[in-house]
Structure 1
Amino acid sequence: MVRWDSCLETEENVNFARRDELNIEEREESDGPLNFELDVCHQDPEYESPTPLSHAQVRLITSWEAAWNVTNAIQGIFVLGLPYAILHSGYSGLFLIVLAAALCCYTGKILITCLYEENEDGQLIRVRDTYEDIANACCRKLSPNLGGIVVNVIQVMELIMTCILYLVVSGNLLLHSFPYVPMTEKTWSVIAFITLLPCVFIKTLKIVSKLSQLCSLVHFIILFVVMTYCLTQIHQWSWAKFKLSIEFEDFLISIGVIIFSYTSQIFLPTLEGNMKKPGEFRCMLNWTHFFACVLKTTFALTAFLTWGEETKEVITDNLPSFLQTLVNLCLLTKALLSYPLPFFAATEIVYACISRGNYSNYSSPLFALGLRGSFLLLTLLMSMFIPHFALLMGLTGSITGAAMTFLLPSLFHLKLKWKKLSFSEKCADISVFILGFLCSLAGVVCSIRGLLKVFGEG
């Protein structure tokens, strides 16, 4: 069945991270002031976003719509690799699924905290809009724009590579779904690319939210089909299948799969800034990660107990043939519906960077349309012509994924809030930073070894 050999490897070794920052759109005007809960959401009346995007239509999103976007990011296709991760990590893998949910939820919260500062009355005011703004604030003494440039480069790299991965996966899924059609995988990728052409007309985060909702629903259907089949085999389950001893290298790969299946930090500043009630953000983040943790733990456990040592890298490969085609088509739909979120984020970041300082020259709708079309074509060309793309993405993703998820949020939080943090909060941030560094290092080592092996065989 579908193996996505290179594709899932990428996500395992690396840190497929699903993926950030939609540069903030101008807020739509409301009938009255927004009532924010949790006493942390007063917008500075004198603050203006440094990157106004008048080309994008402005529609604030509800907490539910924001939740669907987060769910889309943390319930990616790589969830199908969790049972395989449990195979190599045993009981510790189940613990890691819970720990990763808590850590990624925590770094998401501290990242948003960095958008706010206290005024003279002790009220928290939103003085920054984006990940870029936070980075610039931290690096202001060194260079006013250095931090933002670095963060933008990292974000765009990871977002584009995520889009490319979805195209690669789509081509592979179509190839295995219709094996009797005389077409190559690249040809199928072109067909998938054609279905994605309407993405160039997406102008609002609200539209992306609707697509994320559909994507999440398809994802739940996939998990329901797999788990229902597993429950029919409950008579074969045995806890003896769990390993007590583990291989260190396999365990490192499992860590990559588990931790980076929760990444959504790239999108969070924009999602929070575009919510009608930003005060509900923390609650929304808690619930999305809680349900993701429960669902992933249940799915990984039932699938592993069903197949044990025979668990494959992509759990759908274990399904009987009569279910494989159905699941393949659902996965294809999910991959295509997942594409718009990172695509929209990447194009908005680049548009903002280009238009800054030269806004009048690049404000036409035609220019924005051309930019999105160019990015769409770029993802197709890279997916078709870059050799060993999966391993190269694994190497890059090991750095960018860990940086955006663990390293930068904890570092920025320490830098901007040091004087106000308690000792335990400082220890927590430092611990997260060290963990992120180790995960990144492990991913880099695994990816380099994979590249050396491939080139050595060539």
Structure 2
Amino acid sequence: MSATVDSSSTAPLLGGPPSTRRRRTAGKATSAQTLGNIVVSIVGTGVLGLPYAFRVAGWLAGSLGVAVAGVSTFFCMLLLIQCRDGLEGHDDEETGDATHIQSYGDLGAKAFGTTGRYLTEFLVLISQAGGSVAYLVFIGQNLSSLFTNTSRSIIPPSIFIFLLLLPLELALSFIRSLSSIAPFSAFADACNVLAMAIVIKEDFQLFDRFSLERGAFNGTWGLPFAGGVAVFCFEGFSMTLALEASMADRRKFRWVLLLAFITITLVYISFGIFGYLAYGDETKDIITLNLPNDWSAITVKVGLCVALAFTFPIMMHPIYEIVEMKLTSIRWFQKVRCNAYGERLSLQGARMLVLLIVAIIASCIPGFGTFISLVGSTLCSLLSFVLPATFHLLLMGSNLKLWQRAVDYLVLLVGLAFACYGTYDALSDHIKGS
């Protein structure tokens, strides 16, 4: 789950009433630009947890989990595009105006009315919050790993979260223009690539320790855990419609998306296999924690932490907007606000409260790998599989062939089963670990 800065990504949840939304205009992005935007919107810090997922599932089972997650996510993204293409060819039955689908919430509204919009946007919001929590957990654990005594951290991650990260993010929450923070998003992506390169370099230095006998299948039920991590790594559904609309030639989007998914899937599988084969049962839930505390590893860890600390406000921005929009619509808030200054002060207080809640949750997370598997199995699974299949059945049902309906029902049922078992598996793993 990666933070991106785009005019369309800053408020994918905030469709607003139909009368106030702009009509979708033709995009200008080339195929190469769209390919880059897809990669940036999907690849994030979750990739650094893949080797641990392969340790839990086994290198072959983990590879299958990543491949299945990639194929399924690609297929369900196409379902969203088909839904929009089908709806935009007809006028709205209630207003008589041409139908324009700009966000995931718009599809939810078309499928289930206002309740569908709220449910879809709520799931996207909570998923975004889960990504924000993962950022803090990642930063806290990496900073904690820099201060070790006999291979054990002497400063717990929660100290860094509350005494370093929280004050910084509280200060950054006063910045309402994302343009001033946008360069750090590119810096964070560059650090992710650099971290992966250094990890792979360290892996190959341990090439003599590689052994395919480490475990191809480490238990049948390790596959859902790896699948949850993989789904988290592929999560970028709130950007699907915006990315497709941004292209100058939208007909090429499916091929660009296919190329992006093939590339990302192969990179994910290779990174997970090499990391697990290098460290085996010693593989940690964030692979950078396996790196020795030499200058190159420390530089990568600090660089990642700094970049993610400054892109954290971008991850939080949709959450801020949702909270502020809902708050200003409440009658008692409209009565208690005295003037524009009082309103700004109240909204800033709401931002600070949300930040505190996110920091408290992050400080209670025992493991990065277990957490992203839980988020991937529940929220990301619902957003990536269950809702797209449901929307496709409801919105395109009359035009679907029997085999298309069967595939949609299969995706829907498997997605629900995966969400239920993945949640149970991640929570039971946490209980055993505690």
State TM-score, norm by structure 1: 0.73
- The amino acid of 2:42's aligned partner reads I
Does the 8 Å contact 2:158/2:363 carry over to 1? no
Q: Which residue of 2 aligns with 1:169?
A: 138
Q: Which residue of 1 aligns with 2:267?
A: 295
Residue by residue, what CA displacement relative to the aligned partner does 1:85-144 show, whole Å, maximum 9, x if unpaired?
Answer: 2232332321222222121122122223323325379xxx7622222211111113xxxx
User: Do structure 1's residue 221 and structure 2's residue 194 form an aligned pair?
Assistant: yes
Residue 308 of structure 1, aligned match among 280, 284, 289: 280
Residue 75 of structure 1, aligned match among 33, 36, 43: 43
Q: Which residue of 2 aligns with 1:429?
A: 408
- The amino acid of 1:160's aligned partner reads A
For the residues of structure 1 that align with 2:64 and 2:376, how far apart are their CA atoms? 24
Identical-residue share of aligned pairs (%): 19
Q: Does the residue aligned with 1:304 lie in a helix, a strand or coil?
A: helix
Change (3 A) 1:230 1:171: closer
Q: Does the residue aligned with 2:233 lie in a helix, a strand or coil?
A: coil
Does the 8 Å contact 1:67/1:284 carry over to 2? yes
Within a 5 Å distance, the mapping from 1:198-237 to structure 2 comes to 198=172, 200-203=174-177, 210-237=183-210
Cα RMSD for the two superposed structures = 4.1
Q: Which residue of 1 aligns with 2:160?
A: 188
User: Do structure 1's residue 438 and structure 2's residue 409 form an aligned pair?
Assistant: no
For the residues of structure 2 that align with 1:195 and 1:387, how far apart are their CA atoms? 16
- The amino acid of 1:287's aligned partner reads L
Residue 348 of structure 1, aligned match among 293, 298, 321: 321
Residue by residue, what CA displacement relative to the aligned partner does 1:299-326 show, whole Å, maximum 9, x if unpaired?
Answer: 1222223233443333223323325423
Residue by residue, what CA displacement relative to the aligned partner does 1:266-318 show, whole Å, maximum 9, x if unpaired?
Answer: 23334445x26371543443333222112112212222232334433332233
- The amino acid of 1:198's aligned partner reads L
Q: Which residue of 2 aligns with 1:258?
A: 230
Looking at secondary structure, tell me which structure has more helix per residue: 2
Within a 5 Å distance, the mapping from 1:250-289 to structure 2 comes to 250-273=222-245, 275=246, 277=248, 279=250, 281-289=253-261
Change (3 A) 1:102 1:334: farther
Does the 8 Å contact 2:225/2:426 carry over to 1? no
State TM-score, norm by structure 2: 0.77
Change (3 A) 1:439 1:429: same
5+ residue gaps, structure 1, are 1-15, 28-46
5+ residue gaps, structure 2, are 92-97
Does the 8 Å contact 1:139/1:147 carry over to 2? yes
Does the 8 Å contact 2:214/2:280 carry over to 1? yes
Identify the range of structure 1 (128-137 vs 280-289) with the bigger mean alpha-carbon deviation: 280-289
Change (3 A) 1:247 1:218: same
Residue by residue, what CA displacement relative to the aligned partner does 1:230-273 show, whole Å, maximum 9, x if unpaired?
Answer: 22333443333342x43133332122112322111123334445
Does the 8 Å contact 2:89/2:99 carry over to 1? no
Change (3 A) 1:294 1:92: same
Q: CA deviation at 1:146?
A: 1.1
Q: CA deviation at 1:418?
A: 1.3
Q: Does the residue aligned with 1:248 lie in a helix, a strand or coil?
A: coil
Does the 8 Å contact 2:227/2:377 carry over to 1? no
Q: Does the residue aligned with 1:339 lie in a helix, a strand or coil?
A: helix
